[in-house]
Chains A and B, each alone.
Chain A
């Protein structure tokens, strides 16, 4: 069974969250998987928070902040990039595909881009889920075969 994956999208108030609103106003359709969590700034994101989301069974986590150089709080989004990069290494260590975590930059006027990113990332997560499921199934089959 392929359950719909759930993605937590941490969006900063001034850019990505505004862009998500604009995507709505412009009726840009994208898959339903993203659950947006509003933050004042992506610089508020810490590694712990990112890992927690996976611990609570999120299939993917997307951090979306202002464009580089365009952060309302000067450099919060730059900090976020670093934390996302670091969190990816930790995910890899714990056996979680680091591609399940991503950072995007979306300006407030980029409603269509928000929809595009949400769509892209959902596809990535679905693909990873599918691959992992297939691998699991194969290894199950193998072990069953061996048991037989």
Chain B
């Protein structure tokens, strides 16, 4: 056999809802390695979102939570959450699959689910799990009980536009998010990571971030720049008030400071040079900044006027930068005062030039040399130094850029009132390069702007300038957008002027450069990526490279140069992995689940124009804290995670890594189970119901979350609109189901029942709630559903109205909803009624991932997007070795899902039987140490859980206390007791200190007990010598405000565990062999299917059938509704049974006796001979039959027949003019309360067959409800299209059938018409009930000690999660014996049993014992109390005449121990004396502890 054909003993399960979990468990327990792939961060699927489940109203979380834990802990299930299937190759038995493990940015091994990160995260999003009725953070877990219980960071793949656009790379999103939560200083730290000039940039930046802000698409961009300014001001004010701005040690920005020796010279102390110096100083380089001016700051100091940038802030910030360890030499000009050689001599190893562009461009203009023509930069410098040059009363500024405006506005501030400032520029008003807001502010201050004028000559007299002559500028740029102004010289304008200020652009002076440092186009020629000049190791950046640009661009240049210099000095590649020069233009869109807070953009408060134009006082006064928080909360969190790194700082376990990447893994598996499941229908696709428009219209899943105690309102029923408790609730059924307009013409199968359930639970919350369900047909077809529906109606008072609601309107006064509908059962009255809350019962639609996966694995989907195309074989995908389970193949309820999963596991078992057990992991442990003669030597580990415990409980003092308790030989505290290194320490300590008891005080034993027990075993101790005290969930987390009392409580709890631990004893399991054989009772298709599957899985089968033939009830049915030939299917099965060596068939036989228990039964089969067999499991597949009607002239008139009889008739030429069918004959009545499930479909099947043969035949189906659930609905629709008449009659008005002159006449009250109809009928067809084999069932029930329900069908262990198991272990049920159902469902159930049985019988042995109850025969009085008490029938009276507990049956609940009057029974690890020691030790101090226990 080639390697390719080798079968692999592992299974890939895609999707981890209840379907995927059950399939995984059944495969893993049957000896296969399982890889469980889930898209979401945690497993659990939709069931985890439910509050309760119908028809028992059990708590969904109570049911699913143990399953989650079981899957999570299973040695042979690898959960690959947050992962996607990427590729599948190979064939059945040997597939190679590729999985993409998406980066969750949290290390699953290190994260302990404490949630510190979540509390630190500033980004809130709508919580989809909670129906968007609550919020969660960008770092989140789906729900508190999630498995794996680790966090995930939700990041958009694309960056936030603001962050991506900032030339300096400032994390705008990050600081805005922090500001929105009031974390101002932290926000400032985020700013400073990339922007050393927080305060300055917060004032003068031209904020390209705001231009691209997505919020601008909704209303106006977030005021990002002003927010940055706010946090800088906030810190400054704190300093002014003398408050400490020292960040706590663990919240300080991360600075990795090295001590490098290489000296760096930076020429130019403007923003580019200072940024470069700042970066290098932080890295640890000795840096010197040289500047020709007397002050640092370059254009920030000399170019920006104080009214825009107050000097206090400027100086403060420059000082802050210098304090990072930068040496500054001012007033010294490179090329004049010092040169290259000087620097070299002083040991500088590299130079960066950042000399800026501080010189004003000259223009060739007549009269330019006249007195009174000034350059703008020296003018600004002068005014910024506080001087007031005399410029007269009329000035003209030439230029339209920002500097020109600064000059004009500075001028107006030093001039006498009434002076005139004119700005002339070539550009038109729209083309002016100055920022619009600057122009507007200038205009407000009285500056006059004259666009489209070019200077032609300066007019002067002997005293100097007197004016300027200008000509009209027609255009500034040519077609190639090159600067090439053209003028109309004929149009002239002259301005009077005492001074003319030239502001037509700036330039650099490079006279200081050596020849080998080349320039190009007026700037230094550098490599744009590295900023290296034409001389190796000499760098340049800022305006002298870019030409005059903004502060933020200069900062960007500074960063780039510093990176290069560091690389250069460290001998690294200058180009490798550099940030690209071009900023990414692909930005994140607005994410779906963030909503904009409805706050308008805050306008920066400014001084009014009249006040500000008189001085240089800063004109913008800044945001208040309140404004800042509100403004920041307008942010839409485009990238979702803002990368503020708060989580990184908060996570003491160091589990977070924002740089983690997706990871591809390859696996080899033998089979694949697709369990992708459904998603709820999107109610907004039916806009007429107002979802999304009316606040109090919600979906059923949202209501489910509202009902849940761990939901958005903690289980209080409130309206989302106003939080009021709704008193009157309406449910509208079939939203997105049975609806061709949305392409879903199937029935979703579950909505009728979940709405019924929700109405009952709503009333249980508030008994005076009025509940109304608007429905089309009440589809209570499942086991126990009809009774549930009746209870809702009759006991809980839920109103059911058969009607489709025609309109929903909101009452504007109270946000109530006004429903208009046509009440079918009340003479079609049009009714208008008002409800507080409307719940839309949304259907189940195919999960979008189904399509994706199906394409990948080569599986076809049906027209509704669900996988698979053969309704008769729902588990088969059409591709061998790939199976379907759960809602992946169509909408269904939980038990059906669970059955399909066990069945899919059985199919995997059949396929991979040869490879079973080859891939699984078995853990080996050292031999257990005998401690029976040892005194207790107790070790105690108390966990800090980072700060989760330690922040509340004084862990050190707990340890000090514990050390003093008798018996304790070791006590220590650990940061994370569950971490790998702690496990190692525990193991070593056990060995070193010869510990024989271990106590861990940390989190909950529910999730962590098994982990520590493993460690015990690895250290050679019995795992039951362990106790755990929960001091996190049940102490530090719930007593956060009471540290002292919480510490006392923790001590009490640990003392209790120590007290109990003295009395702990090792517990050993007993291994018993298993008989690998199964007894199947019933030879119908169901029993045969189970038998075949088991036989193929290598299990011997005894198939017992009481008749002399195989085939059971199915011999009566030819075809299914879907057209499947059932007789072929049946005969194929019979053939297969006969051919299968592993199956022994006993016909004409019954079971006479059954003894033994799970794994080892002995039974006798009575037939022609009596045979004793040994087997490990029992399967009840005894079927059911059809009732014989006694009504409607059945048996009296030959033209009255059952559907089955009709089917026989249809084989010949069936001719009748009028055919009438009556449904629910013998079902859903007082004596037989259940629905027979199949009859509606049977009737439709036969009606369609009649129409096929004779389209002219009039077929009328008289019904109470049509229950064509799931895809069968398609045939119902087809029947209506074919003209089959469906006539509804009320439950209490069955039709009246009479015979007149040999002809049948049927009178029926038609609900829709509201009157009685008389129908002639040539043939009357009855749809009788499916009834249990009561007598047989009772006999078998007694033999096997399994229960029968009130309807006479067998009762499974749990309706939802154990649908084919009996509570009595090792005994299973399937087929009609369980409840009425269709052939394909019986087959699934039969396979499900095979899957479950294989979990037991695939093993060689069974571990028995452990935490079970044990009888002390000395004390037993044989009173039989325990026998009565135990629901598992574990106790029995043994040969000695005393009670004994069958270890294999005992579930360890301890109910017998508390009932035993003689106290003869004890539950291991919960014995009376152990329990007594536990709570005695909790309540008492240790001194007396010892005496009491002796």
Residues of A within 8 A of B (CB): 4, 6, 8, 13-15, 17-18, 20-32, 35-41, 43-46, 48-49, 52-53, 56-58, 66-67, 69-70, 72-76, 79, 83, 107-113, 115
Given A18-B62, A73-B1453, A108-B62, A37-B1478 contact (CB < 8 Å): yes
Cβ–Cβ contact A49 & B1033, under 8 A: no
For window 681-723 of chain B, which residues contact chain A by CB distance below 8 Å?
708-710, 714-715
Alpha-carbon distance A15/B1454, docked complex (angstroms): 16
- Count chain B residues whose beta carbon lies closer than 8 angstroms to a beta carbon of A: 63
Cβ–Cβ contact B709 & A109, under 8 A: yes
Cβ–Cβ contact A112 & B714, under 8 A: yes
Cβ–Cβ contact B1005 & A15, under 8 A: no
Min C-beta distance of B846 to chain A, whole Å: 28
For window 197-245 of chain B, which residues contact chain A by CB distance below 8 Å?
none
Q: 6 A-B contacts, Cβ less than 8 Å apart?
A: A18-B62, A24-B1038, A25-B115, A29-B1038, A37-B1056, A73-B1431
Q: A-B pairs with the 5 shortest C-beta distances? A: A24-B1033, A44-B1454, A46-B1458, A43-B1455, A73-B1453
Q: Convert B590-630 into 0s and 1s, putting 1 for each residue whose CB lies closer than 8 angstroms to a CB of A.
A: 00000000000000000000000000000000000000000
Alpha-carbon distance A39/B1467, docked complex (angstroms): 11
Q: Answer whether residue B869 sits at the interface, using C-beta atoms and an 8 A cutoff.
A: no
Taking A23-B1033, A73-B1431 as given, write out 12 further A-B residue pairs in contact, using a Cβ cutoff of 8 Å, ordered by the A residue number: A13-B1006, A24-B1033, A25-B115, A32-B1039, A36-B1053, A43-B1458, A44-B1467, A58-B1479, A83-B1458, A109-B59, A109-B61, A111-B710
* A36 to B, closest residue via Cβ: B1034
Q: Answer whether residue B473 sits at the interface, using C-beta atoms and an 8 A cutoff.
A: no
* B1429 to A, closest residue via Cβ: A79
Cβ–Cβ contact A29 & B1453, under 8 A: no
Alpha-carbon distance A107/B64, docked complex (angstroms): 13
Q: Convert B1440-1464 into 0s and 1s, putting 1 for each residue whose CB lies closer than 8 angstroms to a CB of A.
A: 0000000000011111011100010
Q: Convert B63-90 into 0s and 1s, putting 1 for each residue whose CB lies closer than 8 angstroms to a CB of A.
A: 0011000000000000000000000000
Min C-beta distance of B1427 to chain A, whole Å: 15
Cβ–Cβ contact B1483 & A24, under 8 A: no
* B1047 to A, closest residue via Cβ: A32
Cβ–Cβ contact A32 & B715, under 8 A: no
Q: Which of B781-789, B898-906, B1064-1072, B1469-1477 lies on the face that meets chain A? A: B1469-1477
Min C-beta distance of A61 to chain B, whole Å: 9
Cβ–Cβ contact A17 & B59, under 8 A: no
* A106 to B, closest residue via Cβ: B709
Min C-beta distance of A74 to chain B, whole Å: 5
Alpha-carbon distance A118/B115, docked complex (angstroms): 24
Residues of A within 8 Å of B65, CB to CB, are: 18, 108
Alpha-carbon distance A49/B1457, docked complex (angstroms): 12
Alpha-carbon distance A28/B144, docked complex (angstroms): 13
Task: Find the residue from A21, A46, A73 having the highest chain B CB count within 10 A.
Answer: A21
Min C-beta distance of B52 to chain A, whole Å: 9
Q: Answer whether residue B993 sits at the interface, using C-beta atoms and an 8 A cutoff.
A: no
Residues of A within 8 Å of B715, CB to CB, are: 110, 112-113
Alpha-carbon distance A35/B1048, docked complex (angstroms): 11
Cβ–Cβ contact B709 & A56, under 8 A: no
Alpha-carbon distance A72/B1455, docked complex (angstroms): 12
Residues of B within 8 Å of A21, CB to CB, are: 1004, 1006, 1030, 1033-1034
Alpha-carbon distance A88/B1350, docked complex (angstroms): 36
Cβ–Cβ contact A4 & B1431, under 8 A: no
- Of the candidates B1037, B1045, B1455, B1478, the one whose C-beta lies within 8 Å of that of A24 is B1037
Cβ–Cβ contact B1482 & A39, under 8 A: no
Residues of B within 8 Å of A44, CB to CB, are: 1453-1455, 1457-1458, 1467, 1470
Alpha-carbon distance A134/B1032, docked complex (angstroms): 36
Alpha-carbon distance A34/B1451, docked complex (angstroms): 28
Residues of A within 8 Å of B1475, CB to CB, are: 37, 49
For window 268-317 of chain B, which residues contact chain A by CB distance below 8 Å?
none
Min C-beta distance of A59 to chain B, whole Å: 10
Cβ–Cβ contact A18 & B1006, under 8 A: yes
Q: Answer whether residue B58 sits at the interface, using C-beta atoms and an 8 A cutoff.
A: yes
Alpha-carbon distance A103/B1451, docked complex (angstroms): 23
Residues of A within 8 Å of B56, CB to CB, are: 69
Cβ–Cβ contact B1006 & A17, under 8 A: yes
Cβ–Cβ contact A109 & B62, under 8 A: yes
Alpha-carbon distance A63/B786, docked complex (angstroms): 35
For window 1391-1445 of chain B, which residues contact chain A by CB distance below 8 Å?
1411, 1429, 1431
Q: Answer whether residue B346 sits at the interface, using C-beta atoms and an 8 A cutoff.
A: no
Task: Find the residue from A4, A29, A108, A109 having the highest chain B CB count within 10 A.
Answer: A109
Min C-beta distance of B1100 to chain A, whole Å: 33
Residues of B within 8 Å of A18, CB to CB, are: 62, 65, 1006
- Of the candidates A20, A35, A107, the one whose C-beta lies within 8 Å of that of B1053 is A35
Cβ–Cβ contact A109 & B51, under 8 A: yes
Q: Answer whether residue B484 sits at the interface, using C-beta atoms and an 8 A cutoff.
A: no
- Of the candidates A31, A66, A75, the one whose C-beta lies within 8 Å of that of B62 is A66
Q: Answer whether residue B145 sits at the interface, using C-beta atoms and an 8 A cutoff.
A: yes
Min C-beta distance of A147 to chain B, whole Å: 34
Cβ–Cβ contact A108 & B1457, under 8 A: no
* B1463 to A, closest residue via Cβ: A48
Alpha-carbon distance A44/B708, docked complex (angstroms): 28
